[in-house]
Structure 1
Amino acid sequence: MSEKSESSSGDREPFIVVGVDGSRASVAAVTWAIDHARRIGARVEVIGAWEVPWSELVSPTKVDEDYFRQVRERLEPAMAEALTGADDVHTVVRIVEWYPGPALVQAAEHAEMLVVGSHRYGVMGGMHLGSVASYCAHHAPCPVLIHRHG
């Protein structure tokens, strides 16, 4: 799933993968990833993943294009904010139809780092990882940074 570039010497271009869902936490994670990429001379692959809700599978009312459009509309303002002033860092934004955790882990194959935001939702917000962050921390093929916003 992840695009890989190679230089003429055969070395892979370093890259950082960052997950985005349109939340403030994911905007902060993208901003951090871009700053870090700038420091290490890497590119950034921003992945927005979505899945059809199981309830829709029982009684479908939309088609895949509807879900994709909703995700894109949610991500566009967040990405515009996160990418402001990042013209010096090669950044690719991709929206994929797949569960977010596995999508990010697969995209992170050969990455320098995988960055995900932390929402701090729930009764004990901040004390437990969310499902995507937990999946990435346990399965990623590279170091994972869980960016805590705020």
Structure 2
Amino acid sequence: MTGDQRLIVVGVDGSEVSKKALRWAARHAETTGAVLRVVTAWRLPPTYGYLPDYSDVDFAAGARETLDSAINGVLGPTPQLSVDARVEEGHPAPVLLAAAREADLLVVGSRGHGRFAEMLLGSTAQHCVHHAPCPVLVVRPQTT
């Protein structure tokens, strides 16, 4: 970002924990006056030795729908802060790292699929923690 404008980047994949990360990032952006960059990544599914016909599938549009749904669900149709929504092709970790190049903070959700998995960071969150050019906040799922 230029000048004194702060930037918070948050990754969203449509999961509940990513929506929780978006909620946290939005509150922090409102408090600090930062721009909120909401990013989702998409890529073609693995082929496993054969080439399926994806000509009638618009993966980018599906990702845009996921992103818009998360933003509208968490922030409402008219957010009261500056939101920069981006859909990027690629693996989520490098996409988030590229989006966070000028960021003051990167916010990601951890993954939580069962008790054992909750003790571990997801691969995207872990990669971001180790390679981000800025501080990273990892939001955990709701625990009871």
Counterpart CA distance in 2 for 1:52 and 1:64 is 13
Matched, 1:29 2:21: yes
Q: 1:57 to 1:93 in 2, by over 3 A?
A: farther
Query: How many Å separate the matches in 1 of 2:93 and 2:56?
Result: 20
CA deviation map 1:35-83 (0-9, x unaligned): 0011111010000001111217841321496111222233332221112
The corresponding residue for 1:118 is 110
* Aligned-partner Cα distance in 1 for 2:126–2:71: 24
Q: 5 Å matches for 1:1-150?
A: 4=1, 6=2, 11-55=3-47, 58-63=50-55, 66-84=58-76, 87-121=79-113, 124-150=116-142
Q: Describe the SS at the equivalent of 1:109.
A: coil
1: distance between equivalents of 2:99 and 2:61?
22
Amino acid at match of 2:54: K
Write the letter of the residue equivalent to 1:43: V
Residue 23 of structure 1: how far off its partner (Å): 0.8
Letter in 2 for 1:73: E
Q: What are the ranges of 5 or more consecutive residues in structure 1 without an aligned counterpart? A: none
TM-score of the aligned structures, taking structure 1 as reference length: 0.85
Indicate the SS of the match to 2:118: coil
Q: Report the TM-score, using the length of structure 2 for normalisation.
A: 0.88
Q: Is this contact kept in 2: 1:34–1:86, CA < 8 A?
A: no
Identity of aligned residues (%): 40
Segments ≥4 residues shifted beyond 4 Å: none
More displaced, 65-74 or 132-141?
65-74
Residues 1:122 and 1:50: Cα distance change in structure 2 (over 3 Å): farther
